[in-house]
Every structure is written in C-alpha cells, then in structure tokens.
Structure 1
Amino acid sequence: MVAKISVGNSLYGALAYNGEKINKEEGRLLTTNRIYNDGTGTVDIHRAMEDFLSFMPVWSRVEKPVVHISLNPHPDDVLTDTELQDIAREYLEKMGFGNQPYMVYKHEDIDRHHLHIVTVRVDENGKSIDTRNNFYRSKQITRELERKYGLHDAERKNRRPDMQRHKVDVSAGDVKKQAGNVVKELNRRYRFQTMGEYRALLSLYNMTVEEARGNVRGREYNGLVYSVTDGKGNKVGNPFKSSLFGKSVGFDAVQRKFARSKQEIKDMKLADMTKCTVLSVLQSTYDKERFIATLKEKGIDTVLRYTEEGRIYGATFIDHRTGCVLNGSRMGRELSANALQEHFTLPYAGQPPVPLSITTEGQEETQAPSTSEYGRDLDGMGLFSPEGPAVDAEEEAFIRAMQRRKKKKKRKGLGM
C-alpha cells in the first residue's frame, strides 16, 4: 500500500475535488470524524466546509493547514469497505490525526479503487500538529497495516505465498511420494494447534490423518496414520504409517508442533489478522458461498463441517498469508460454528447486509454501508504543496479548471 501526502491552503479545493467525484457516483464517502455524514455515501460540500471551519480557529497562523492523503492498496488486494474504513482510521490515528476532523472517500472511477482523505493539521487551540518526518512515519505505518491486513508489500509485486499447491492425485501414480511431499511441506509451512486443525489443513490437499494407539507386549504406543482422500473426503487406497514419511511428521513431532504453534501464534498475535479479515467479510454478506469465495480471494480457505442434517458444527480457517490454521471458536464466539450457522440461515440467508453502525471517539454514530503506479500550489487556492504529490492527472486537470473559473470571475469583476 502506497500513501501520498500533500499539504496546502485551500480546504474548499480539496473538498470540492473529492465531493464532486463522489456526487457523480464515481466513488462514495466511507466515513468521517467530527464532520456531518448522513450515511448515504454522498457529500454536502458546503456543509463539510462549514464543519471544518467551525473546528479551526480563525486566528491560527499555521501555514498550509490542509492535509490531503491518498492511500493506494495494490490492485490485487481485495478489500471490503469496512476494511478500508478500518485501515484509514488506523493510519490517521498513528499519524496523529485521529482526533482531527476528517473525511475518507473511496474513489471507484478506475479499476484500482483507492482512498482519499482530507483533514487539517491545526488543532482546536490553533496549534500545528507535528508533521516532521511524515514520509518515514507514513512508510512505517503502511508496512504495519500491510502485515495486519495481509496486503501486498508496496515494494514487492508478489509477496503472498503460493496457496494452490498440488493436491494428491491418485490417478497420477506414485501416491506415497505425493502424500509424503504434501505432509512434510504443510508441517514446514503452517502452524496448527490441534489434530482437528491439522486435519482441516490436510483436507485441502486430499489427505487426512488419524491417531493410532495400542499396546504391544505391555508397552503403549502412539502413532499417526495418513490416508489419501477423494474430492468428497472419502479415503481411497491404503493408509500410510507416519514412519514411511519420516519422524518429522510422526506423533511426537506433531505434538511438539501443536505446542510450538500455540506459543508462536500468541507471541506474534497472528490470529488477530485472520480474525479481522474474516469478521469484515462476514459483516458484508449473509450468503455462505460468497463468504467462502471472498475469503479465498483474500488468501483464506474455509473448511466447514456439517451434521447429517446439514447444520454447521465446525469451522476452521486456513490463512495462507500468515501460515496459520485457526478454529473459528478459537478467534471468538462470533466465529464459532453456532454463530456461523445462525448467520447463514433464515431470515438473513441470501439477503443484502444490514448497514453497520460504527462509532469512533469524538464522532456521533453514523451509518456506513457496507497498473500503473499505485498510487502545486494552486495560485490563489494553494491546494497542494510539492511535499508529496498525491494528485493524479485528473485531479490536476480539476485544479486547473478551478483556476480558469476563478480568473474568469476576476475579469468580469473588472468589466473585461
């Protein structure tokens, strides 16, 4: 994700550029802070201008108080409006603008959807918010957000791992070698904490595993037996003892893997990123198939288990971005099997999502509905400075048009 920051003097110029684009249905207003928002996704430019001015002291001597930011995710990043709102809020909070009035717009006039943010760097007391080292701070923050939301690295085109490794195919022959390669690779790449999570991961690649316990000559033993499955999860062919694939995928090694994974997921807070993505997609739809498909686009596979009556009794999410396999209930009640079953059944199934009510500090509750590079001072307007050209060619054309309009008005006033 690339962030571009510009500062200027013309608040109206920044609001008019974004507002006119939104009101032409080339985007929508996603969220605001301390600025009126009727929840329709449209903009009342003059009302927004009044709200900003009521916050800013007229006697402030801060030069170029207007801040215009564009946040540009990679074209391959599939993000919901809720995720975009969260990203914008977190970015502004970390940049020191969290309590400032701001407006967040989503531009949809080109295939690469992106955000524009208008805010001010002068507080209610007329003091300037420190914007020194903004470039470096912004870069660090966007990297943090990329990791949290599983976005592509702005400086690398292909960061995500290959999620579609080959499934075991009985018809291709040498099944033992195929199965061994899959099992060893999954153990190397992924973190899982229970046998159920391990089975869910294996199921994506036409494999399953069972524990084998017994007693030989008075000595108890524990082992694992791996089996190949068909597309419906039914076992096919002969099972394989784990010893055929090596100690690294045997019972003791997998038990150690559970403990190690648990600690790593906790220490690195890896479940937070998965939970954030899954909840965001869940809030955007009551259609189960769309939910699963959207998560898959984002790099998360969903494994649901059903009773004979067709009720969901288990849910596991495999996040290929972080290499974590997580049972839904492990991430919270709202992602448990019962909660998902309720979410995807009548009266909501197949219906459009209910608009979310999102409250932020200092803002009344408002309704928020659900590849080229990503990502001047205007005479008399002063919209942007050379600090960071966030404007694109179309935006510059808009600014020039406003210049011409202003010059025409001046000529008329002089009787020309």
Structure 2
Amino acid sequence: MIAKIGRSGNLYGALAYNHLKVKHENGKILFANKIIETPNGHYSVAQLAQSFAPYLMANRNTEKHALHISLNPDPNDKVSDDKFQQLAEQYMQEMGYNDQPFVVFKHTDTTRSHIHIVSVCVDEAGKKISDKFEKMHSMKVCRELERKHGLIPATDKEQKQSDKIFRPLDYQSGDVKSQIASVVRHLPNYYQYQSLGEYNALLSLFNITTEKVEGELQGKTQRGLLYIPLNEKGQKAGHPFKASLFGKNAGLAALELYFTKCKGTLNRHPTKQTIKAAITIALKSTTVEMSFKKNLTEQGINVVIRRNDTGRIYGITFIDHNSKTVWNGSRLGKEFSAATFNDYWNNNIQPQIKEPVEMQTKISHANDIDNVPSEKPHHLFDFINTEPTPDNQGEGVTDALVSLLPQTQGEDLEELEFAFRMKKRRKRRR
C-alpha cells in the first residue's frame, strides 16, 4: 500500500473534490470521525466543513492547514469497505491524527479502488501537529498495515514498476529519448565492459546502438557519440540523439574512462574461466547457431553476433548476466574469436577448443541443460535487488531508482525524466 500526503490552504477545495465523486456516483463516504451528523446521513460540502470550522478559527499561523491523504493498495488486493475503514482509522491513529475530525472517501471511478482522507493538521488549540519525519513514519505505518491485513507489500509493487525501466526500447510507443535515458544512465552501475563494441552488444538487447562522430571544428578535433533506436530486427528505427542529452556519463570521454577502469577488473575476474567453460560445453554439444545460443541463454548468457552483408561473422560478444560482465569473444581467447564461429557455422570447420583446466564455478553438463528453466533473452534483466559491481558500491541501480521511481501507479518514463532534470538542477545550484 502506498500513501500520498498532500497539504494545502484550501480545505473546502479538498472536500469539494471528493464530494463531487460522491455526487457523480464515482465514490462514497465510508467513514466520518468527529463529524457533525446529519438527519439523513447525507452530507453537503458546507455541512462537512462545519466540523472543521473550530480548528480553522483557532489556527495560529499554519498556512497549509488542510490535510489530503490517499491510501492506495495494490490493484490485486481485494479490500472490502470495512477493511478500508480499518486501514483509514489505524493509519490516522498511528500518524497522530486520530483525535482530529476527518472524512474517508472511497473512489470507484478507476479499476484500482482507493480511499482519500480529508482532515486538518492543526488541533483544537490551533497548534500545528508535528509532521517531522512524516514520510518515513508513513512508510513504516504502511508496512505495518500491510503485514497486519495481509496486503501485497508496496516494495514488490515498486520493483514491478522499475521493470518498466529495464525493458527493450519500443520506438513505436513514443518518448524514445526517455526510453533511451532510462537504460544508458543505469547500465554502468551494474555491467562491466571494456570497449564500445561490447557496450553496443549490451545496448542491442535494449534495441539501442551507438555511433562515433568525429571531425574538426575551427581547427580542433571533435569527438562525440550518438544513440540510435533500433527495431526488433536490429535495424535503425529513428533519428539519433546526442549523448549530451543523457548526461556526461553517457558521452564518449566518460565511457572510455569506464572502459579503462573495467579492464583492470575484468583481466582478473574470477568468472572468466566459468564463461569459457560454458561456451566450450555449448560448442561441443551443439552444431547449429540457434542451439548454441539457446544453450547459453538457459545459463544466463546472451550471445550477440555481428555479420556483414555477405553473412560472414566478424564479431561475437558474450553477455553474462550472472556476473554482469560483457566479453568480446577474442578477449576470452583466440579459440573463441569471431573467426572460429564463422568457420564452424559457415564453413563447417570443427573448432579446436581444449577443455578449461580450472573452473571457478561448477557447470552442469549439457545433458542436464533440459532441467534448467528456459528464459527469453530480454527477460534476463532481473537484477534490481542484486549488488552493484565492486567499482560502483553505493551507486547501484536500486539506489538510482529510489529517487526516480514514481510513488503512484500509472506514471511513466516522461515523469522519470522530469524528476531526473529537477534533481540535476538542484545539484547544479548547490
């Protein structure tokens, strides 16, 4: 359950907004606390406002005295009216507003039923009720209510929302710039790669590629990078975007520094032998490209192959989602280069690959692969709750998402982009 707390100086407006839902049969009043009763049980906005009048008259100097709270359970939660009333009463009690007059409205004009609570944050003496650490306190109360009433935790919901950020780009859905931004800003916090080719191989899983731009301007050499959207066939599907639109870390200079940083780590990476062993087993147990890819995909390794117009393989890259590392074939060894796979699949020349002597992690034989559940390549990005790379401790994508994730359902990448710009402005001001 997610709680949103709003404050304003317009109590009448908050009451009128919710009462309009009731009037149009898109909502109803579930519960009223310390509200003057009416003979027929129905209320007008003016009648509701009467119960708050003494508090507003006593108000000393609190400008934003009106409190407007929404409680939003997961859409899959089946919450009855009685349960909603309990949630509202217990939430207000834990937040310190149980002695205040408040009205609980249920909204039914969307598929996701939720409640709104209207109250005031000044007591009978006109003193403001403390809102210190309110957001943190509210989150804690929501977690307690979820456990008490068996509701789906909002942390699970937020993770599902974050999956939107790590999906392949869909150029037809629009807002391509924000879709690209949501990928390129976070990948370096998780994956390690040593070249632009390896970076492009990883980006291709998200239907994105990059191109270098080099030239001279006023006698000075200029170097830059463009990000280009791709369709599901890997073809360019839209106009390019300058790297500067996505922040300095997406630019060529920053990426080259990151490549150098990763080289030192990957040269000593403990899973290098494991990846080589997995490729060796896949090669020895398959004869065609599709089977080879499927074999490795089932072990969490994507294979990205680059061909020229004649079909010749000139590049091959292995993306290991277990260790979050990207390897050009020749970087693993000459026997794993593009030439080896071109000879095997195009010229039927059997590769001469020796079994690795040492393996850091035990790998099951190909005969046991059938027992491993199959996953589609684009569903291998289930790394939201894993740890960042050693070189990026504290800068993992989980931390990045906490500040960017919308707090209500239905918000999209455009809103994430806006949040990022506002955060960037605040940093610049400081």
TM range (shorter): 0.3 to 0.5
Q: Which has the higher contact order (CA 8 A, sep 6+)?
A: 1
TM-score scaled by length of structure 1 = 0.44
TM-score scaled by length of structure 2 = 0.42
Indicate the structure with greater helix content: 2
